[in-house]
Amino acid sequence: MSDKKLLNYADYLNLENILNSQKLKSAEQGKPAHEEMLFIVIHQVYELWFKQILHELDSILNTFNQNSIEESDVSLAVLRLDRIIEIQKILIDQIRVLETMTAMDFLEFRDYLFPSSGFQSAQFRILENKLGLTPDHRIKYGNQDYKNPLLEAGRKVVKKAEDEKSLFDLLETWLERTPFLKFEGFDFWDQYSSSVREMLEKEVEAIRNNPNHSTEQIAYHLKEHEMATASFEAMIDVNKHNELIEKNKKRLSHKATQAALLIFLYRDEPILHSPYNLLTRLMNMDELFTTWRQRHAIMVRRMIGAKIGTGGSSGHAYLQKTADRHKIFSELADLSTFFIPRSTLPKLPGKIKKNLGYHFKS
C-alpha cells in the first residue's frame, strides 16, 4: 500500500526510464533484428560511463583551476583518475561483448540506423576537449568540422568545452608553478645535463663496438642515435624547445617539461609521491584511450570491413589514425628518454630536501 512513499531501488535508479529507452528501429520497420538490442544497450552503457568519467574529470579540473593546490588535492585527483582508469578498462573489455555480434547480424539492421553514428556522441567530444585535444590536433574526416554531425544542443556544449581550460592546460600551469626548479646554490640542470651527455656517449661507444653488427648497421644505428641526442639537446635548450612548439612538434612548455622530468627523477622523495602518481595516471589514461581506439578500430574493421560506416565515413581507417594521433600526454611518456640510472642522479643537498616540505603551496 504505502510502499510508493519509501525510497525504492527502482525509483532511486529511475529504472522506468532506463529500461524503457530501447526502441529497436528494425522492429519499428516490421523486421525485428534480435541483435539490435545489444547494439542499443551497449551504446547506452558507454554513454553512462562517459557521464561518469566526465563527473570525475570535472572535479579534477575544478581542483586544478584553484589558485592554491594542496598536496591532498593532488592525492584526491589521483584517486579519481584511478577510477577513470578502471572505467576505461571496462570500456575496452566490453568490446568483447559487441564482438559476439557478427558482421552479418549487424547488416540486418545497419541500414535503419543511417545516418546516425558514433561520431555524434557529444559526451565523447566533450571528454576529448576537456582532456586537451584541440581542433587543430584532431584528425579530420570528410573535410568537415568535427562538431557538424552533432545536434544543435550538443554542438553548443562541445564548443563550450573547446573554449575552456583543458586538463592539459591546467597541468601545464601547475607544473610551471612547482618550486622545485629554483634550487639556490645547486645547479641541477648543469649536473643533470652532464650525466645525460655521459650516458649518451656511452651509448655511442656501445653502438660502435657491437660485434654483432656490420659497418653499415653501425652507421645506421649511429644515425638513429643522433636523433636521440638532438631531442635531448632540444630539451636542454629553451630556444630549440620553443622552435619545436612553433612547428607543432611539441606542445608542453619548456618549464613544465623540466618540472615533469624532475618529478620523475626524484619520485622517491615523499613530497613528490602524489605529483609522480598524478603524472603516471595521466599517462595510463592516455594509453588506455589509445588501446580503446585501437580495439575499436579492429572491431569496426571486422564488422563492416572497408564499407562506409553508418556516419558515412570509412570508420576503421579514421579510428586507427585517431589512436595514434589523439594522444594528449604523450610528451610525458617521452620523458623516459631522458631518465638516467638512480645511482647517477645528482644528490639533493640537505637544505633543498628540507624545503621539499609537505604542503605543496605554489
Contacting a second copy within 306-325 (CB under 8 A): 306-308, 312-314
Instruction: Please report whether residue 197 would count as binding a second copy according to CB under 8 A.
Output: no
By CB under 8 A, how many residues form the interface with a second copy?
143
Chain centroid to Cα 119, Å, comes to 18
Name the minimum Å distance from CB 25 to a second copy.
Answer: 7
Considering beta carbons, is residue 214 or 248 the nearer one to a second copy?
214
Question: Does residue number 21 form part of the binding site for a second copy (CB under 8 A)?
Answer: yes
Q: Which of 91, 56, 129, 82 is nearest to 281 (CA)?
A: 82
What is the phi-psi region of residue 144: left when phi exceeds 0, alpha when psi lies from -120 to 50, beta otherwise? beta
139 vs 356, beta carbon nearer a second copy: 356
Residue 22: helix, strand or coil by DSSP?
coil
Contact by Cβ (8 Å): 192, 346? yes
* Spatial separation of the C-alpha atoms in residues 252 and 168, rounded to whole Å: 8
Among 135, 179, 305, 349, binds a second copy (CB under 8 A): 305
> What's the min distance (Å) between Cβ of 353 and a second copy?
8
Alpha carbon distance 160, 122 (integer Å): 12
Residue 226 touching a second copy (CB under 8 A): no
Residue 210 within binding range of a second copy, rule CB under 8 A: yes
Neighbours of 256 (CB within 10 A): 21
Q: In this chain, which of 221, 240, 321, 325 binds a second copy, going by CB under 8 A?
A: 221
Tell me if 117 sits within 8 A of 312, measured CB to CB.
yes
Q: Between 156 and 302, whose beta carbon lies closer to a second copy?
A: 302
Task: Tell me how long the chain is.
Answer: 362
Residue number with CB closer to a second copy (48 or 189): 48
The region of 79-87, 129-137, 156-164, 243-251 touching a second copy under the rule CB under 8 A is: 79-87
**How far is it, in rounded angstroms, from Cα 279 to Cα 165?**
18
Binding status of residue 231 toward a second copy by CB under 8 A: yes
What is the nearest approach in angstroms of a second copy to the Cβ of residue 182? 18
Residues 6+ away with beta carbon under 8 Å from 100: 38
Contact range with a second copy by CB under 8 A, out of 86-94, 173-181, 233-241, 246-254: 86-94
User: What is the rounded (10 degree) CA torsion for 234, 237, 238, 239?
Assistant: -80
The reply to whether 285 sits near a second copy by the rule CB under 8 A is no
The single-letter DSSP state of residue 117 is: -
Told to check if 115 binds a second copy by CB under 8 A, we report yes
Q: Tell me if 332 sits within 8 A of 279, measured CB to CB.
A: yes
Give least dist CB 282 to a second copy, A: 12
Q: Does 179 engage in binding with a second copy (CB under 8 A)?
A: no
Question: What residues contact residue 360 under an 8 Å CB cut-off, 6+ apart?
Answer: 69, 70, 71, 74, 271, 274, 275
Q: Which is nearer to a second copy, 175 or 304 (CB)?
A: 304
Please identify which residue in 298, 321, 348, 352 interacts with a second copy, judged by CB under 8 A: 298
- Residue 201 binding a second copy, by CB under 8 A: no
Of residues 26 through 45, those in contact with a second copy by CB under 8 A are 34, 37-38, 40-45
How far apart are CB 59 and a second copy at their closest, in Å?
A: 6
User: Which of 241, 295, 296, 326 is in the footprint of a second copy by CB under 8 A?
Assistant: 295
Q: Which of 29, 66, 114, 249 binds a second copy (CB under 8 A)?
A: 114
Cell of 38: 545489444
198 is a site residue for a second copy (CB under 8 A): no
| 215 exposure class (CB count in 10 Å sphere: 0-12, 13-18, 19+) | exposed
Helix 254-265 × helix 215-236 angle, to 10°:
110
Among 53, 38, 102, smallest CA distance to 288 is for 53
Considering only residues 241 to 280 of the shown chain, the ones binding a second copy according to CB under 8 A are: 264-265, 267-268, 270-271, 273-274
